[in-house]
Amino acid sequence: MPQESKRRILIVRLGSMGDIVHTLPVLTSLKETFPQWEIDWLVERRWRELLEGNPYLSRIVDLDTLEWRKQPLSRNTRKSFRKLIAALRENCYDIALDYQGALKSAAACFLSGAREMIGFEEPWLKEPACAVFYTRRVRTAARHAVEANLALSAALGATRTCIRFALPEGDSTSLPASLQQDGFAVLNPGAGWLSKRWYPEGYAVVSDILHTDFSLPVVLNVGPGEEALAREVKNACRAANPEIYFGNLRGLIALLRRSRLMVGPDTGPVHLAAALGVPTVGLFGPTDPSRNGPYGRLHKSLRSEDAQTDYRHSSVDGAAMRRIRPEDVVETIRELLMK
């Protein structure tokens, strides 16, 4: 193990859910190599619960850019911004690591006052202009986001690669009585981009087969504004009677820990399920599963052969997603559950 004096490290990965999950193995790899280091994480407040109780973290520093954008020039926003900078600089970071590759995350590294700021080279930069903030850039040929993130920690000398997702237990008390028992399938029909969504009738077919062939109750997990989509899936079912679940993040973690299967598109709950060890079928259209798919051997991804990779946030219905057939999803489920 390298003999390294104590250092204070700041990880900057503000969001989103899936991206934070894909960054978690960085913590274990750094701490397994350098147990004496103190590692903090700067994150959006709405995702803070993903990191709470993490044994590898010294501190969580949060910010609320959603609130800032609502009132960018207000007195409270200016006060909150100054307080954040003071909190960051008080910690006297030796190194800030930008795992997001965006202007706002790179600026956060700079504002932290860290002596060294490390980020990616392209193609792992979302906004190439952010590289001007870095004192060192790391090039990697990694294909998956988890492996690219580990390459950045390896640049600090982390010699022990530990693929471990340290996640909180969740809050089981927030689950309804019907979901207190283990052994159901979770389907996640929603996604942040319309082009990532699979069609509701497909989920209904899968729900029916999970009910009739696998004797698995089905839960439809939905986020804000997705209730109508879940009802559309539920109404299209012929045999199954899915329960619709709408809860907070800690409740979702508890729900997934009790589940036997997750099916959904490239969205946070799918990556969270995979990280928790739940057999997961990812449905992909515009994004590339080799880069952003559920990580690990328990999981499989489906994508039509003619899908075009496009990471622009799209509100257009995804034709590539509609070419994923329900029978292929069911066959993939069989393969996973028979292992």
Q: Give pLDDT, residue 23.
A: 98
| In-domain check, residue 162 | no
Residue 315 pLDDT exceeds 70: no
Q: What pLDDT digit, counting tens, does each position of 302-311 carry?
A: 999 989 898 8
> Does this model's pTM top 0.85?
yes
Band of pLDDT at residue 66, cut at 50, 70 and 90? confident
| In-domain check, residue 196 | yes
Q: What is the Cα 141 distance to its own chain's centre?
A: 21
| In-domain check, residue 206 | yes
Residue 339 pLDDT exceeds 80: no
Q: Give pLDDT, residue 76.
A: 86
In terms of Cβ atoms closer than 10 Å to its own Cβ (0-12, 13-18, 19+), residue 27 is buried
Provide the domain limits for residue 329: 172-337
| In-domain check, residue 163 | no
Q: Which of 101, 121, 154 marks a domain boundary? A: 154
| Same structural domain, 188 and 246 | yes
| Same structural domain, 89 and 53 | yes
| In-domain check, residue 164 | no
Residue 2 pLDDT exceeds 50: no
Q: What pLDDT digit, counting tens, does each position of 30-62 carry?
A: 999 999 999 999 999 999 999 999 999 999 999
Instruction: Match 């803070």 to its residue by tokens.
Output: 48
**Whole-number average pLDDT of the chain:** 93
Q: Which of 154, 188, 222 marks a domain boundary? A: 154
Tokens in use for 91? 């910690």
| Same structural domain, 116 and 236 | no
Q: Give pLDDT, residue 256.
A: 98
Collapsing DSSP states into helix, strand and coil, what is residue 21? helix
Q: Give pLDDT, residue 1.
A: 39
CATH number at residue 150: 3.40.50.2000
Decide: 56 and 167 in contact? Cβ < 8 Å. Answer: no
Decide: 193 and 76 in contact? Cβ < 8 Å. Answer: no
Residue 278 pLDDT exceeds 50: yes
Sign of the torsion formed by the C-alpha atoms of 103, 310, 15 and 74: positive
Decide: 150 and 126 in contact? Cβ < 8 Å. Answer: no
| Same structural domain, 137 and 177 | no
Band of pLDDT at residue 317, cut at 50, 70 and 90? low
| Same structural domain, 214 and 136 | no
User: If you compute the radius of gyration of the chain from its CA atoms, what whole number of angstroms results?
Assistant: 21
Q: Give pLDDT, residue 314.
A: 65
| Same structural domain, 198 and 102 | no
96, 262, 288 from 323: Cα distances, Å = 43, 20, 15
| Same structural domain, 205 and 140 | no
DSSP string across 114-163: -SEEEEEPTTS-SSGGGGGG-SEEE-----SHHHHHHHHHHTTT------
| Same structural domain, 103 and 249 | no
Stated length of the chain: 339
Instruction: Match 């903030």 to its residue by tokens.
Output: 133
In terms of Cβ atoms closer than 10 Å to its own Cβ (0-12, 13-18, 19+), residue 88 is buried
**When comparing pLDDT for 145 and 319, which is higher?**
145
Residue 285 pLDDT exceeds 70: yes
| Same structural domain, 287 and 332 | yes
| Residue 316 backbone zone (phi > 0: left; psi -120 to 50: alpha; other: beta) | beta
| In-domain check, residue 114 | yes
| Same structural domain, 112 and 199 | no
| In-domain check, residue 282 | yes
| Same structural domain, 224 and 274 | yes
Number of domains in the chain: 2
| Same structural domain, 62 and 189 | no
| In-domain check, residue 1 | no
Which percentage of the chain shows pLDDT scores above 90?
Answer: 84
Which percentage of the chain shows pLDDT scores above 70?
Answer: 97
Band of pLDDT at residue 216, cut at 50, 70 and 90? very high
Band of pLDDT at residue 316, cut at 50, 70 and 90? low
Q: Which of 99, 120, 154 marks a domain boundary? A: 154
